[in-house]
Amino acid sequence: MARKTKTEALATRHQILDAAEQMFCAHGVARTSLHEIAASIGLTRGAIYWHFQDKYDLLTAMWQRCMLPIEQAFDEIDTELAHDPLGRVRAKARRILHRIVHDQRTQNLLSIVLLRCELVDEIKKARDHMLQQREECLGKMKKEVSAAIAAGQLPTGTATDGAAIGLHAVIDGLAYHWLRDPDRFDLERVGGTVVDGYLRGLATKSPATARRGAVAKKRKAVRA
């Protein structure tokens, strides 16, 4: 009996998350109350508070529910491409783009975060949480860039922070404009091409870097 009760409570929790996801997408976070979410699925507001403290708690749970399968997919990529850091970056970027297009929950969450999450004090904690998640993501990207430099896939001296921020901006910008107008371009095809171009750009030595390398090589040859 206890197991059934726990199962029912989990089902109700997901029902609340699903309802909040739909209403936040349709009306925005600030314009949707917990009472309206509860009423849309025939629950009392007290039932909402039994599972979630506030909108921040709801948004955080929605984020975690969406990110779990993505993190699992990233773990698989890490295993498959253990010795190819730049390949991991490319594969993860493409996996994200694929999921945005084909997974409705991911689409909804990004629509809420990028288009429907108004800058109001009520959800400040949720925004702060998402910014923290962004910084963690950038930190992981920087490690991948460092690994690519160490593997000789990117030039020595590549700015890891700038490279990570640039890639994040590319994916974030593509997602933002596609969500606003999905018919404008094919996110997977165009996005994949853009990401590949960005990574090729990172891998290409600038003229100044190439000259310094040539000079260093010439000096080494003279000393020999």
Residue the block writes with tokens 């773990």: 75
Average pLDDT of span 128-148 = 91
Among the listed residues 211, 194, 29, 7, the one whose alpha carbon sits nearest the alpha carbon of residue 96: 194
Whether 127 shows a pLDDT value over 90: the answer reads no
Residue the block writes with tokens 């890639």: 167
d(CA 182, CA 176): 10
Give the CATH number of domain 1-52. Answer: 1.10.10.60
Whether 3 shows a pLDDT value over 60: the answer reads no
- pLDDT at residue 167, rounded to an integer: 96
100, 178 in Cβ contact below 8 A? Answer: yes
Domain definitions of the chain by residue range: 1-52, 67-223
Give percent of the chain with pLDDT exceeding 90. Answer: 67
Q: Residue 223's Cα: distance from chain center in Å?
A: 50
Helix (H, G, I), strand (E, B) or coil at 204: coil
Amino acid (one-letter) located at 77 = I
Average pLDDT of span 76-97 = 97
Helix (H, G, I), strand (E, B) or coil at 154: coil
d(CA 65, CA 17): 9
Whether 120 shows a pLDDT value over 90: the answer reads no
195, 90 in Cβ contact below 8 A? Answer: yes
pLDDT confidence bin for 207, thresholds 50/70/90: very low
Q: Residue 34's Cα: distance from chain center in Å?
A: 26
Sign of the dihedral through C-alpha 54, 56, 58, 64: negative
**CATH of 67-223 given 1.20.1290.10, 3.10.150.10, 1.10.357.10, 3.90.550.10:** 1.10.357.10
| Helices of type H across 28-159 | 34-40, 45-51, 55-80, 85-102, 104-115, 124-150
DSSP conformational letter for 205: P
* Length of the chain counted residue by residue: 224
Q: What are phi and psi of 84, to 5 degrees?
A: -135, 75
| pLDDT tens per residue, range 39-77 | 999 999 888 999 998 888 898 899 899 999 999 999 999
